[in-house]
Amino acid sequence: MIIDTLKKNIRLQFLGLLSLAIFSFSANAGHHGMKKDIVDIAAGNPDFSTLVTAIKAAGLVDTLKSDGPFTVFAPTNEAFAKLPKGTLDKLLMPKNKDKLVAVLTHHVVASKVMAKDVVKLDSAKTVHGDMVMIKTSGGTVMIDNATVTSTDIKASNGVIHVIDTVLIPK
């Protein structure tokens, strides 16, 4: 009888510890690994396929998968299509990698800036080192000559704001 009670208590303790371990793992996974980073979000959205191709060609995947935080003003495929004919093809050539890196890093701010914060700013310094001008008028936010069409796409390492025009550094 005593041995049966001990076995039952040991089993209950083991099950309790196992349950605690499973709960801790799932809570930890949900907090640290389940949210996608900026690159994963862009790669999972067909509207950003050109951007993802450019990020890969520029060798910026690891950078944009790092801890950040980053704010990315992400041009859509339509935004890239607005560039003068041949511009994108030239930028994607290996010999023009430095120019491509300059263009892409001109779309990134080295901090997490949510939409409610962007509207309070008139400029922001990009990772490229240049400033982008920010204007807000009647609910529309402009980053240089690009209109922000969607905001606050949260990533594990920052935030994405979608823009309709590719930003070109000066």
- Residue 170 has a pLDDT of 82
State both tokens at 31: 């907090």
Note whether 89 and 134 are same-domain residues. yes
63-106 confidence digits (pLDDT tens): 999 988 999 999 999 999 999 999 999 999 999 999 999 999 99
- Classify residue 3: in a domain, yes or no: yes
Contact 150, 162 (CB under 8 A): yes
Note whether 3 and 74 are same-domain residues. no
Give the domain CATH number at 84.
2.30.180.10
- Classify residue 168: in a domain, yes or no: no
- Classify residue 169: in a domain, yes or no: no
Note whether 22 and 46 are same-domain residues. no
- Residue 8 has a pLDDT of 42
- Classify residue 124: in a domain, yes or no: yes
Question: SS3 for 134?
Answer: strand
Note whether 7 and 85 are same-domain residues. no
The structural domain count of the chain equals 2
pLDDT above 50 for 164? yes
- Classify residue 49: in a domain, yes or no: yes
